[in-house]
Structure 1
Amino acid sequence: MEPALPSRRPKRADARRNFDALIEAARGTFAEHGAQASLEDIARRAEVSIATLYRNFPTREDLVEEVHREEVEALCRTAAELDGLEPWEALAAWLRRFVEYIGAKLAFADALNRATDSFQACRKAMRDAGGPLLDSAQRAGVARPEPSIDDILRMISGISTVEYVDDAQRERVLALALAGLRATPAAPGERPGGG
């Protein structure tokens, strides 16, 4: 299911090309230098004037929101693409993708807690995308029954924004979190879910 997130993308083809070039340049620049990266560098990388950047994105926040929105849409599409997997594999794969998304886009890590309408719509889209994966895993008895999708997103966001020695350490921490989320097999006569 495609999230309904508002976009600033223009309708005219030439304006869309400039818009898309700015988004791509901003995505790379933010990944390298954070959300406070130079807007002049972004315009130069996109091969457009700074006036074109400001015509599309009057404020830095507008540009950050649009890049974040596109990243969230990609994350939401990933959830839909995991439908054919077993419930635990689908949930774990989506959470790994979420960690990669946040880990690679630390410029957007604080976006999960912003109060603007756009960021709130993105948070809702992520909950709507991940919620069915968690529900399916809980119904199958392979994920603990207690946590909500909001609990899980907060946990994964926290894991993603910590500085690690290397990727292997981040992977170990994520594996520990996933192990804690996974339901333990029920003993004979117990209810599944690890509790």
Structure 2
Amino acid sequence: MRADAKKNYDRLLATAREAIAEHGADASLRDIARRANVGLGTLYRHFPTREALLEALLRANLDELTRQAERLETSDAPDVALTSWFRAGLAFTRTYGGVVSLMAAALEDPDSALHKSCTDVRSAGARLLQRAQAKGLARADIDGTDLFALMGALAWVGDQPAFSRRVDHLAEIIANALLER
């Protein structure tokens, strides 16, 4: 990639990160291009669809969440690893409002640019859950898809002004409900 194209790409991603954090996944692409001081055509050359832009933004975060699960699998007690990862996943999903529905749809669509990263995250969470279940530390009646769905549900709650102040409290309740006590 040419130096000027790389500069535009990086500026578009940085601007999109801010805009999507402020306005959610439906942030105006025209506004992102304007704020990045590039034309809309430049945005579309780098990111032909909204999903392509979101995939570029989310992939690094999703992949880091997968790596974090791998580190936790070997370093922390199974129950601590599970709840730590769950909280980290929730923090990520709350960073960009409105992305949960895209992530959920990507799970079912192998052609989605987000499919691999989302399925990897779901699988990583499932492994942490199974590890805790094998030690009798986590509920046996849930699976990795349930874990992913709970994370998404809490992120959705956080997007709702009437409930957003309650998300940390609700996350603690759900994290504790995952465990056998």
Q: Look up the match of 1:135.
A: 130
RMSD: 2.1
182 and 40 in structure 1: CA distance in 2 versus 1, 3 angstrom threshold = same
Instruction: Tell me whether 1:126 sits opposite 2:125 in the alignment.
Output: no
Bigger Cα displacement from structure 2, 147-156 vs 108-117: 108-117
Partner AA of 1:109 in structure 2 = V
Q: Look up the match of 1:65.
A: 55
Partner AA of 1:172 in structure 2 = H
- Cα deviation for residue 161 of structure 1 reads 0.6
State whether residues 137 and 143 of structure 1, in contact with CA within 8 Å, keep that contact through their aligned partners in structure 2: yes
State which of 148, 155, 162 in structure 1 corresponds to 2:150: 155
- Cα deviation for residue 165 of structure 1 reads 4.1
Instruction: Tell me whether 1:24 sits opposite 2:14 in the alignment.
Output: yes
- Cα deviation for residue 125 of structure 1 reads 1.1
Q: Deviations over 1:90-123 (max 9, x none)?
A: 1111100111111221231111222342233232
Larger Rg: 1
Question: Matches of 1:141 and 1:12 in 2, distance apart?
Answer: 54
Question: Matches of 1:24 and 1:129 in 2, distance apart?
Answer: 27
Partner AA of 2:143 in structure 1 = S
Instruction: Tell me whether 1:88 sits opposite 2:49 in the alignment.
Output: no
State whether residues 52 and 113 of structure 2, in contact with CA within 8 Å, keep that contact through their aligned partners in structure 1: no
Secondary structure (helix, strand or coil) at the match of 2:180 reads coil
State which of 112, 115, 128 in structure 2 corresponds to 1:117: 112
Q: Look up the match of 1:52.
A: 42
Instruction: Tell me whether 1:171 sits opposite 2:161 in the alignment.
Output: no
More helix by share: 2
Identity %: 34
Partner AA of 1:141 in structure 2 = G
- Cα deviation for residue 56 of structure 1 reads 0.5
Partner AA of 1:76 in structure 2 = T
TM-score (norm: length of structure 2): 0.83
